[in-house]
Amino acid sequence: MKRILIVTGQSGSGKTSALQVLEDLGYYCIDNLPLALLPEIVEKLDHENNLEQLALGVDVRSTHADLQDFESVFEQLQKHGSVDIIFLSTKDEQIIARFSASRRPHPLTGRCQSLNECIQEEKSLLLPIQLRSTVNIDTTDKSVHDLKHTLLTKLGQSDKLIVILQSFGYKHGIPLDADYVFDVRHLPNPHWDLQLRKLSGLDQPVQQFLAKHDQVVDMYNDIYLFLQKWLPAYSKGHRHYLTVSIGCTGGQHRSVYMVDRLQKALATDWSIQILHREMKHWS
């Protein structure tokens, strides 16, 4: 077996949808098996079926002891191939809204007095797995289509570091899946120019507007030099993915421009993927 994905995260964050997407991508998917049984099941599948891609769904219904012993399970799975952990997270208020809409009980309902207590307890129980995760995805504002696009982006390769450059708007919240966050809200804002307002940082008039300001040039140089210095260290540390998020107020002009310019500069040395999180909000 060459590739194993462990898919886990908060209840209501989209684990079932993620497994369905992975199944469409050709992964053999198994969900809700006790964590302690995974090494035995994977060994049997590897021996009898010669699978190339396997996705395993894990959630908080595994016993507390199994969750605490996750490191041992992870090491046993590594004997059968490359293992990545996809951890899905969602803002608390969105999880509450999803459970209210579906009217399904939280897996920890019998152990906690309120849904909010269930959410906090689940975070604590899943922490050993989250600390080991290699792919983090914030599904707060993602549709199933958005989730599929993100999975395709983050699972593009496994043998070299993929740098994901993401633009976002602070008014829509800081992305939970970012490894680094750079704030460019202090830079001159094209939004206040009525001729530029409906354009984005990908359009030439906006790029020309921003490129003429020394502050923008200095900020770009600082971020570029920082990444050039530290990306090799992440690559040598066997990281597969690094998400660098750059935010402005609305996620349409300054952050998009910065991501676009960094992508062009870094693409000669690194595998780059682009995500403009707020594209659906662009006027």
Is a pLDDT exceeding 80 seen at residue 25? Answer: no
Annotated binding-site residue? 13? yes
Q: How many helical (H) and strand (E) elements, i.e. helices and strands, does the chain have?
A: 10, 9
Tell me the residue type at 57. Answer: G
Flag whether pLDDT at 42 surpasses 90. no
The better pLDDT of the pair 238, 58 is held by 58
The reply to whether 250 sits in an annotated binding site is no
Query: Is pLDDT at 158 greater than 70 in this prediction?
Result: no
Mean pLDDT to the nearest integer, 22-37: 84
Q: Is 60 part of any known ligand binding site? A: yes
What percent of the chain lies above the pLDDT cut of 90?
A: 44
11 labeled part of a ligand binding site:
yes
Question: What's the chain's average pLDDT?
Answer: 88
Is 61's pLDDT higher than 80?
A: no
**Rounded CA separation 76/81 (Å):** 10
Among 55, 44, 69, 47, residue whose Cα is nearest residue 18 = 55
Alpha helices in 110-253 (DSSP H): 115-130, 144-154, 204-211, 214-236
Angle at CA 283, nearest 5°, toward 137 and 210? 85
Instruction: State yes or no: 283 annotated in a binding site.
Output: no
pLDDT band at residue 174 using 50, 70 and 90 as cut-offs: very high
Q: Which residues are CB-contacts of 180 (< 8 A; sequence separation ≥ 6)? A: 242, 243, 244, 245
Local structure of 76: helix, strand or coil: helix
User: What is the spatial distance between Cα 57 and Cα 215, in angstroms, rounded to a whole number?
Assistant: 46
pLDDT of amino acid 159: 52
Name which of 135, 126, 90 is nearest 108 in CA terms.
126
On the question of pLDDT at 155 being above 80, the answer is no
List the 180-183 sheet strands across, edge first: 180-183, 241-248, 162-169, 271-276
15 is known to lie in a ligand binding site: yes
Tell me the residue type at 15.
K
Residue 124 labelled as part of a binding site: no
pTM: 0.60
Q: What is the pLDDT of residues 257-275, one digit of tens each?
A: 999 999 999 999 998 889 8
What six digits make up the tokens of 135? 């792919």
**How crowded is residue 2: how many other Cβ atoms within 10 Å of its Cβ?**
11
235 is in an annotated binding site: no
What is the structure's pLDDT at 129? 86
Q: Where are the domains of the chain?
A: 3-154, 162-281
210 vs 35 pLDDT, higher one? 210
| Nearest residue to 29 via CA among 76, 67, 86 | 86
User: Rounded distance, CA 283 to CA 169, Å?
Assistant: 14
Sign of the dihedral through C-alpha 107, 110, 114, 116 = negative
Q: What is the mean pLDDT of the segment spanning 23-48?
A: 83
Q: Which residue has the tokens 């469409």?
A: 24
59 is in an annotated binding site: yes
pLDDT at 195: 96
CATH architecture of 3-154: 3-Layer(aba) Sandwich (3.40)
**Does the annotation flag 62 for ligand binding?**
yes
Under the banding of pLDDT at 50, 70 and 90, the label for residue 134 is confident
| Contacts for 280 with CB less than 8 Å, ≥ 6 apart | none
Residue 82's pLDDT band (cuts 50, 70, 90) = confident
